[in-house]
Every structure is written in C-alpha cells, then in structure tokens.
Structure 1
Amino acid sequence: MSDPVRAVRPLLSTRAVLGEGPDAGVPAHYGAPLREQRHLLDGTAVVDLGHFELLEVRGADARSWMTTITTQVLTGTPVGSSSSLAVLSPQGRVEHMASAVVLDEDAVLLVLDPGARAGLRHYLEMMRFAARVELTDRDDLRVLGALSPAPEVLPQLGLPAPLAVWSEPWPQVAPGGVAYGPDPEDPVGAVLTIFEAAAIEQLPWQSADLAGMSSWEALRIADHRARSAREVDERSIPHELDLLRTTVHTTKGCYRGQETVAKVLNLGQPPRRLVMLHLDGSQDLPAAPGGEIRLGGSEGKVVGTVTSTALHADLGPIALAVVRRAVPLDAGLSVQVPMGEADGETSSVWIDASQEPIVLPREHGGRPATARL
C-alpha cells in the first residue's frame, strides 16, 4: 500500500482545483482545463508535479548496484542520460517503477509517483549489503512537467538552471527493449525538469504559465504510457503494460523476476493487456478509475478494469484499462460509471467504449519474433 501523499504548496493557488487520489497534492486544473491542455501541447505551459517524490542513490557502486537489482542498465550510460526502470518480485510482478537520471559518475536520481518512495527505499536498503551507496530523500527538489525542458517553455519567467532533466524518446524502443504492440498515434512524449524547490517556488507564477494535472494525464493516456500509481496492481507483469518497450532491458544480466520475463516473452503471452478506451461522451458522464468493464453490455461478463481517465482536448473522453487477453480487439465494451449510493447499494450507469490496442495478443503480433534473453 502506498504511503499518504505528501503535502506540497501549489506554485499558484489562485483558482486552483486540487486533484484526487495520488494527485491530491497538486492542482488538477486552474479553472480552464482544456485551454490549459492546449497551452501544454503548444509548448507554452508547464505542469506542477511537486507531489512527485525523489530519491538519490549516490556512491562508488551506485550505478553498477542499480543495474544489478533493477530491470535497467545504468552502467556505462552517459552522465545526464535518462531511462525508466522497475523492480520486480521473484515471480516477475511489478513492485516499483521509477524514472532515472544519471546525475554524475557516482549518482542516480530517481523520480517516483507520490507515495512510492518509502517502499522502494525500504527494498533498496535491504539489498544494500556491502555496496558503497547512500540513499537520500530529496525533498529539497521539485519537478515540473512539460513537452520540453521547462526553461525553454517559459524563457520569460527566469527559471534557474535545473539540477537534471529527464526525457526519453517515447515510443521509440529503448536499447534492450521490445514493443508488445503498435506505437500510439501522434505521441507527444514527456519531459521532467528538476529544480531546487526554493529557487522556483518564489518566482512570479501566472496562471498562463501552468496547466493542471488533468492535462498531464490526458497526454499520458493518449501516449499509451502506463503509470505506477494507476495501472500497476498486485498482479501486474511488465508485458501486460508494454513496459518491455522502455523499462525492462531484456538482454542484461540476471535480476529478480527475470525468469518470468523470459518465459512469457519467449514461450507464452501475458494473461492481461493494456488498452486505451475511447468513451462515449454523449451522456456527459465521466468514467473513473476502478470502474468495471463488461463485454457486450451491462449484463455481460466482467473482462477488465478502468485504471486512468481523462478528457483530451482532441480525442474527447479517453481512458486506460487492463482487460483480459482473450477480449477480441474489435469487441464493443461497456464501462461502469458509479452514480452514488442509495439504500446501502451503489447505483451505476454504463457507457459504451471502443478499444485502441496497446498490448496485442500473440496472434495479432504481440509476441516479438526477434526477442531473446
């Protein structure tokens, strides 16, 4: 279970409407979510990701040690380079995910979803043994999200030089990676710019400089990017969420959970698959994470769960969901929208949804022919 979301002061509180769930610590929007999303897409606004947590791993063995105990290769990568990584259980389940930046030859900075740092730190401390590393919570840092480094997006604001910038060429398959499905249409990517918190919190922020977390989530969903705080549950294996594309290096040495990764990659296929849903917006009923997905109407069989939802400026209402592998790619689905509680029972309505494949079953190209370990 994740720790409570740590409290942060929004960069701009005027008209701010705070988010929910893991994003309760920052504004969902500032009164005009779709306009804010346009500014984010136009490269004229940033998103306050001050609730993201940071952990620094420093020491002579930092990069080699992290390569050994995670799914990613950090040894020999250039200073300033970015990657995504995960820690798996012995059974290959996803336990932790992070974005990683190589700060210098002896240090890696990890950016994590809110509430995720304590669990990862506990695991790393257990695995330290004789490794020459030190772990430091970096609550003195703050993250801004955008489609380019924040100083390029807001040159007029006078942002200081960042400590680090995380970026990866999504959806390009990373070295050692394997794609389990098609690339998203018109991907926009994501850039995390990391600053000393005190240096940016006192700047004269204006509402036009900022887009809310709802905008960030809309672009993430449209880009088909799984998020630890939303898409990962106790059953998740990397293949189901297309994490082998950038987060799991399939040709590196041994790591915990590698046997499951190899077996499913080379001999089997994942039991579930990530999809993007295009939701019927005609009823103006917003879906929410946790809603059931049924096959062929409200009386049909439950085949999955909604994990993330958003209103996209161009695509309308969209969602990410995890469904059973056997659900036909062209099947019409129904998504549950809870409407409140009456007489001790929760009432729901159902809206129609169509699929945009992210992870494909093997018969549709979901098992890469060239994969090897």
Structure 2
Amino acid sequence: MSDTPLVAPSPLLSSPGAVPPLDGSPDAGVAWHHGDPFAEQRAAIRSAAVIDRSHRFVIAISGEERLTWLHTISSQHVAALPDRTSTENLSLDLNGRVEHHFVMTDIDGVTWIDTEADRGPDLLGFLQKMVFWSKAEPRDGNEMALLSLLGPDVASSAIVQALGVAALPGMYEAVPLDGGGFVRRMPWPTADSFDLLVPRTDLPAWWSRLVDAGARPAGTWAFEALRVAAHRPRIGLDTDDRTIPHEAGWIGGPAEHGAVHLDKGCYRGQETVARVHNLGKPPRHLVMLHLDGSAEGRPEVGEALTAGGRAVGRVGTVVDHFEEGPIALALVKRSVPADTELAAGPCAAAIDADSIPRHDDFQAGRAAVDKLRGRE
C-alpha cells in the first residue's frame, strides 16, 4: 500500500440524519444511511435518491497521449475513446488476475479515473511508474468528489434544472457542469444511474441543490443493496487475489457494459484473457445468493461458501435489500448446480438461478482444437 493519504471524510457526514458506517467498513468517511435505509432504496428505484460516494479515490490524467498510453496498459479499448465519453477498465497482473477496477471519463482534454479508496494510491503509483516517455501526466485528482443520482425522477425538470444541463447524457456519456466537473450516465446499479464528479469544496452545495430539487438523501447501504441485486462486483469485496475478469463478469467493451475489450492489442494479462475466452471456461463465476434471514448473524466478506462441509466458493458483499431480504454476491465453482444446499457462515444460502452466467458462447479456439481431433 502506498503512503499516499486516503480520501478525507466527507463534510456531508455532519448532515442532519446522516449515520456513519460500522467500524471496518470499506465505505468509511461517508454516510451509511440517513435514517431509513429501505425507504432510501425504494427512492433510488422508484423516484430519486442522491448518495455521497466522495470516498472514491480520484485520479486525473492530462497529456496529449493519455488515451493511447492508457490503452497499452489496461484491458479496455480506449485509444480512440471519444471526448465526453466514459467506460470501465481493469489493470491486470502478468497472470491475468484483476488488480484494479476503475471508471474513467475523458472530457475536455483530461481523463478522470475513480476507484476504491483503499486501492487508489496503488493505482496512481502504478500509472506514474508506467509513463516512461509517453506524454501523459497522472496525478492525484481528489480535489474532485463523486455523488451518485439514482432513480427515474432524475429526469424530472426540477433535477435537470438543478444540474444546469440542457439534457441528461446517454449511456457512458458525460456532460460538463457549470463551475467544474461533469455528470455521466452509468449502466448500474439501476436503470437510471448518474454520477456527478464535482469540486470537493462544492460538495455541500451540490448536495443541498439536489435534495432541494427532490432527490432523497441516501447512504451507501442503498447503493450496495442495488449493486448486489444488479450482480455487479466490487473489487476487493467480491473478488480475491485469484480473480480473473471472466469470473467477475467484466468481459466486454463499452457496448456490453464490460471492462475487457476482446479486440485490442497487447496488454499485461492479455494471454490469460485470450486463452480462457478461446479455449476454456472460468473455474468460478459470480452469482447472487439468497441468505436465510432467520439466522443469527451474517457471513463475513471472504468467508467460505460450503456444500456438505466442503468449500465451493467465497462470499463477497452481504447486504439487506428492501425487497429481496438478505442477499450476497459470491464467487462459486462453475460446477456447483443452482439447487445445491449451501451454507455461508451462520446462514443457509441458495443461489439465485437467474444470476448464473452462461458459458456456452462459441469458442473459435476450442472449435479448431476439436476439428484437429476429429470432433466436428
């Protein structure tokens, strides 16, 4: 871990009704909820909610070669990323295991990256070490802070007017905001998800403006519950040091809402990505679990998921959802059937069958091998 300090606690934690997270939470520094976490989740689905995610670590990259340089050291196809466009991206190790997941937006000559608070310093350090002779200048960009707006009523005239934009952006597009920053549209955790990157000094003013326009204050509990229900992993919680992109569902370009483009040049970890895509299948995959709500306690992140006393997976994010009850994400061995009786810590657990990824895509490499072996 780098010695670079992490993001400072949000000033919004002092807002009326803001409840801080429990000790040890990865979301330290921002509100866990604002008094009624289930109502906050409902608002994010049915009306509008604003969530303080200013604990995200922000990196700014300037320089005329920033995109072509980043293209060579990451998994997404970003060399020709259009201005005012966003995408998701990964940094992999030499063996194709995921080290960093980040969202990036290129706007008006600067690429803005946001990632997990505890991983941001390491990502920044890696980027700075990889510049060499390229015309790219990565730096700490934490003068900017992230808010998320969720819900169909984000499109209401009152909120659009509060944002000061002519119209909301399309998927992964970004629109500049008066006074600095931008608003972008994301494909998750809900069908109506928008991120604002705004000057950190203006965070309280933006919060008040959006709440006054009709967005309900919500905490990270709401965001996490909807993220789990959308089957979207969070690095470090739903992944471990062995996770490859295929296991977490990160394969695909921007059109597929993925973070690994399968049609691009060489980058670190590409051999593993190509081999699994063309010849094999991932040993594990990400699924959603339904947990027994009557159990005393909940499983911990990283705890083994077992079947008949045998470890078959790893538990990730655990959260209470306003409709689904207690749910979790888990990396599970691909061979485990959906109807397997499972245990996650003190809870009985069941795989949500609809969350199981399909692995029956055509594999050109495997087809060629089968042809050579006379298995057409």
Where structure 1 has 5 or more consecutive residues not aligned to the other structure, the ranges are: 172-186, 337-348
Do residues 266 (structure 1) and 278 (structure 2) align? yes
| Cα contact 2:38–2:321 (8 A) shared by 1 | yes
Deviation at 1:226, TM superposition (A): 1.0
Aligned counterpart, 2:170: none
Question: Matches of residues 304-315 of structure 1 in structure 2 within 5 Å?
Answer: 304-315=313-324
Q: Verify the 8 A CA contact 1:167 1:192 in the aligned structure 2.
A: yes
> How far, CA to CA, are the matches of 1:310 and 1:90 in structure 2?
33
Q: What SS is found at the alignment partner of 1:122?
A: helix
Are 2:89 and 2:102, in contact at CA under 8 Å, matched by a contact in 1? yes
- Per mean C-alpha deviation after superposition, the further-off stretch among 191-200 and 255-264 is 191-200
1:355 equivalent in structure 2: 352
- Deviation of residue 61 (structure 1)? 0.3
Paired residue secondary structure (1:130): coil
Residue 107 in structure 1 maps to residue 116 in structure 2: no
**Contact in 1 for aligned 2:186/2:195 (Cα 8 Å):** no
- Indicate the larger mover: 144-153 or 219-228: 144-153
Task: Return the offset for 1:191.
Answer: 2.4
TM-score by length of 2: 0.82
Relative distance call for 1:198 and 1:148 in structure 2 (3 A) is: farther
Contact 2:67 2:81 in 1 (8 A): no
Aligned residue type for 1:233: D
Aligned equivalent of 1:219: 226
| Structure 2 residue aligned with 1:251 | 263
Query: What percentage of residue pairs aligned between the two structures are identical?
Result: 36
**Could you tell me which residue of structure 2 aligns to residue 342 of structure 1?**
none
Q: Say if 1:241 and 1:359, in contact at 8 Å, map to a contact too.
A: no
Counterpart in the other structure of 1:183: none
- Aligned partner (choices 356, 361, 364) of residue 368 of structure 1: 361
For the Cα contact (< 8 Å) 2:31–2:220, is it kept in 1? yes
| Paired positions, count | 337
1:55 maps to what in 2? 59
Equivalent residue, structure 2, for 1:167: 185
- Contact residue 335 and residue 353 of structure 1 kept, 8 A: no
Partner of 1:79: 83
Residue type matched to 1:291 in 2? E
Cα distance change, pair 169–17 in 1 and its aligned pair in 2 (3 A)? closer
Instruction: Judge conservation of contact 1:84–1:247 (CA < 8 Å) in 2.
Output: yes
Farther-moved stretch of structure 1 (150-159 vs 160-169): 150-159
Return the offset for 1:282: 2.9
Alignment of 1:50-199 (within 5 A): 50-104=54-108, 106-147=109-150, 152=155, 155=159, 158-159=162-163, 161=177, 163-169=181-187, 188=191, 190-199=193-202
**1:3-42 alignment, distance < 5 Å:** 5-13=6-14, 14-20=16-22, 21-42=25-46
